[in-house]
Structure 1
Amino acid sequence: MAAVTVLTSLPVFLPGAANGLISSEFGWSSVRMGAILAVYWLASLSGAFISKRAALPPVVERTLAVALGATCLGLLSAAAAPTVGLWLSSAVGGFTYGYTQPHTNALLMRRCAPRLRAFAFGLKQAAVPAATLLASMVMPTLAGPAGWRPVFAGTAVLCGVAAVLFARTVPPGSRPVTAGRDIVPPLRGDVFLLALSGAGFFGAMVGNGLGGFLVLSLTSRGASLSVAGAVATAGAALNIAVRLIAGWLIGRLPRATWAALIAMFAAGVAGTVLLAHSSLTLTTVGALLAYGGGWGWAGLLHYAIGLPYPGREQRATAYSQMGVSLGAATGPMACGYLFTVNAVAAWWALTAAGLAAMCCVAVARRRAARV
């Protein structure tokens, strides 16, 4: 499941890592590249919305195989005809990501032992910052001698191979993932679902705004590109560790779920407050807090929203995925505008978003016993 998350998220992280190369080759502005990235998350929103309305298929692995095949074709089109293919890759990749995430969430909830579920969610969601690190390392390493197109093509080949493997994972006639799935009652949005979806929306604003503008913020204050890159890399590595540790901890202390979510959002708020200062030391600490807490909640949030709905985990986590996708598109766009007005204002806006996420979790916590 982590591999599916990595591969289907690369259509947004590879263009981000190759932003400078692509823009210089075609003379594109940062606004155009930002729009390409936003298309991914808006398409992800539509994919999650459709997933919310769809029944879980008898063999989920085959759905994942189709999604990986579509991602493969999108990346190949980006390498072959970038002016059109990058838009297509972003749209197709975003849709498959948003559509498959609730499916993989349902698989984890139903196939993992209860004690391992939270860790499994953390591992799967840790694949997202891992994909960011992978794209950031692979692109400068391979794109220099070979160009960025072969990197896209090579990634497409990986998606194609994974699609074949998933298609052959379950032989014909195997038992469906769920029994009696057709009699599961429909899931309608209530306060609990909407509150955690709101937490995903505001939290993703923080995480993706941070990922898109941290390096720019640090370099604009006098830090070298290498220092800014090192801070961002350290933050992403910490983010991976937090997602894994949080999942492991909640697997052993399930009652700590809500306290852990609130604590992570609180750490993220402290981080974005520090990012508003001019001191490099304070902004470095702030970046680590914001990455670790303000973006470390993802696995735990999806786990918490799916847990009260046995048999309907896919549809429940589709709500949180829609919130995350919308926030992922809104955060960078809002930060991009605010940075043109006042760079500090962007971090205060993300601080407000983090506080709003905390409030949403508090509401969901109070409603949890009634679900």
Structure 2
Amino acid sequence: MSTLVRPPRSGPVRAGASGLPTALGVAGVTVLTSLPVFLPGAANGLICAELGWSATRTGAVLAVYWLASLTGAFVSRRSASPVGVERTLAVALGATCAGLLGAAGAPATGLWISSALGGLAYGYTQPHTNALLMRRCAPGLRAFAFGLKQAAVPTATLLASAAMPLLAGPVGWRGVFAATAVPCGLGAVLLVRHAAAEGRQPAAAAGAGAPLKADARLIALSCAGFFGALVGNGLGGFLVLALTTRGASLQLAGAVATAGAALNIAVRLGVGWLVGRLPRLAWPVLVGLFATGAVGAVLLTRPGPVPTLLGALLAYGGGWGWAGLLHYVVGLPHPGREQRATAVSQMGVSLGAAAGPVLCGVLFGLLPDAVWWALAAASAAGSACVLVAAAARRAP
């Protein structure tokens, strides 16, 4: 993994270098640092049964992850871009490993600690790896690299959801947590060894120390990230519950959610590939993704299997497919300061990710269909924010 995330020794991309190994390494780190939030979600029922917790307490554990991620992104915004990035990622993976082991050994307190450490590591490293992709990847690959990195998040969801039913029986849910800590620890060791072998650290990019003004464009895109994350995490937390409440079997509801997550991965990769070849499509595609999410959420209010399946796919594909492209358009106009720019957008995403399940939980207790109308409104608001940002971009 260490060779995959090695930064260049100078700002420009080397001639003939695509940066694909870096993108793959960053995606791997993103998968691992996402596990402290998705594993407890996948093991929710088992955790509640063993510890006597309510679903509300488990939801609070997940919210801690995203609030810690918000803190990590805020701290990252104040740090230099990205000098010694391998050591930064090594510390993040080490903290994730320690948290997962703590959750396995002493879950009553360890789950809270794992969520806090994992969220802090995730939020702090996201802007660093965003800047690394901009510096290390060839211009034509950057949009795809961002899509690949963000596709790692729903990939982590699928891995956690698949590992828990397969492995929890033989080894228990604690064993699954301990097993997933192993690659985090190994990755940290490899990164530390490679950083030590490299010796000196690369110089920071030109302009990295210059202050970053949070203008109307950046604020609008951060708000779009807030609304989009609210949709994605609300959808991920309540789609299966809503479908089973309507009478669908747990297997069918799980299959619908899995299909949506798989489509989400494909959309993030496909959008990155498309924008890499046709950069002028970045803004209209971003608006379209949010609008598609709104249509999908509205369809989820309708009865019947066809509107439900189509709505879930559109909501997942569009309402949560924007992530890679959003951070790409945030970082692109800030050479040398991509980390600080995407730290702002990551703060919006983390806040929305924490707020989404809470809002949906309150609305679901009052009127289940109100969840989907709220997510439709959030998707529409995200689309409007992107339009505001596009207008600010063109303003003199």
Q: What is the deviation of 1:323?
A: 0.5
**Quick one: distance in 1 between partners of 2:119 and 2:138?**
30
Q: What is the deviation of 1:47?
A: 0.4
AA at the equivalent of 1:96: A
Residues 177, 258 of structure 1: alpha-carbon distance in 2 compared, 3 angstrom cutoff:
farther
Aligned residues: 370
Q: What is the deviation of 1:185?
A: 1.1
**Quick one: distance in 2 between partners of 1:118 and 1:355?**
24
AA at the equivalent of 1:158: P
Find the counterpart in structure 2 of residue 278 from structure 1: 303
Alignment identity in percent?
69
Query: Could you tell me which of 60, 79, 91 is aligned with 1:35?
Result: 60
Q: What is the deviation of 1:26?
A: 1.1
Matched, 1:306 2:306: no
Q: Secondary structure at the match of 1:259?
A: helix
CA contact (8 A) 1:56 1:181 kept: no
CA offsets 1:173-229 (integer angstroms, 9 cap, x no match): 3451634456x3111211011000000000001000000000001111111111000
**Quick one: distance in 1 between partners of 2:357 and 2:28?**
25
CA contact (8 A) 2:82 2:339 kept: no
Find the counterpart in structure 2 of residue 21 from structure 1: 46
Structure 1 residues not aligned, in runs of 5+: none
CA contact (8 A) 2:295 2:315 kept: yes
Query: Could you tell me which of 220, 224, 233 is aligned with 1:195?
Result: 220
Find the counterpart in structure 1 of residue 14 from structure 2: none
**Quick one: distance in 2 between partners of 1:215 and 1:84?**
28
Q: What is the deviation of 1:169?
A: 3.0
Q: Secondary structure at the match of 2:334?
A: coil
CA contact (8 A) 1:55 1:181 kept: no
**Quick one: distance in 1 between partners of 2:119 and 2:194?**
24
* TM-score normalised by the chain length of structure 1: 0.98
Matched, 1:68 2:93: yes
Q: What is the deviation of 1:145?
A: 1.5
AA at the equivalent of 1:178: A
CA contact (8 A) 1:223 1:280 kept: no
Query: Could you tell me which of 171, 174, 188 is aligned with 1:146?
Result: 171
Find the counterpart in structure 2 of residue 126 from structure 1: 151
Q: What is the deviation of 1:157?
A: 1.1
Matched, 1:49 2:71: no
Q: What is the deviation of 1:370?
A: 4.9
Residues 309, 249 of structure 1: alpha-carbon distance in 2 compared, 3 angstrom cutoff:
same
AA at the equivalent of 1:249: L
Find the counterpart in structure 1 of residue 141 from structure 2: 116
Find the counterpart in structure 2 of residue 178 from structure 1: 204
**Quick one: distance in 2 between partners of 1:179 and 1:187?**
14
Find the counterpart in structure 1 of residue 314 from structure 2: 289
Task: Give the stretch that moved more between structures: 127-136 or 158-167.
Answer: 158-167
Query: Could you tell me which of 277, 289, 293 is aligned with 1:252?
Result: 277
**Quick one: distance in 2 between partners of 1:172 and 1:117?**
25
**Quick one: distance in 2 between partners of 1:275 and 1:322?**
28
* TM-score normalised by the chain length of structure 2: 0.92
Matched, 1:355 2:380: yes
Q: What is the deviation of 1:158?
A: 1.1
Q: What is the deviation of 1:105?
A: 0.3
**Quick one: distance in 2 between partners of 1:314 and 1:205?**
23
AA at the equivalent of 1:262: V
Q: What is the deviation of 1:367?
A: 1.3
**Quick one: distance in 1 between partners of 2:230 and 2:203?**
34
Q: What is the deviation of 1:172?
A: 3.5
Find the counterpart in structure 1 of residue 371 from structure 2: 346
Q: What is the deviation of 1:58?
A: 2.2
Residues 338, 179 of structure 1: alpha-carbon distance in 2 compared, 3 angstrom cutoff:
closer
CA offsets 1:323-370 (integer angstroms, 9 cap, x no match): 100000101100001000000001101111011101100001111235
Find the counterpart in structure 2 of residue 204 from structure 1: 229
**Quick one: distance in 2 between partners of 1:200 and 1:192?**
12
Q: Mapping of 1:155-166 within 5 angstroms?
A: 155-166=180-191
Structure 2 residues not aligned, in runs of 5+: 1-25
Q: What is the deviation of 1:281?
A: 1.5
Matched, 1:240 2:240: no
Q: Secondary structure at the match of 2:61?
A: helix
Q: Mapping of 1:210-221 within 5 angstroms?
A: 210-221=235-246
Task: Give the stretch that moved more between structures: 185-194 or 357-366.
Answer: 185-194
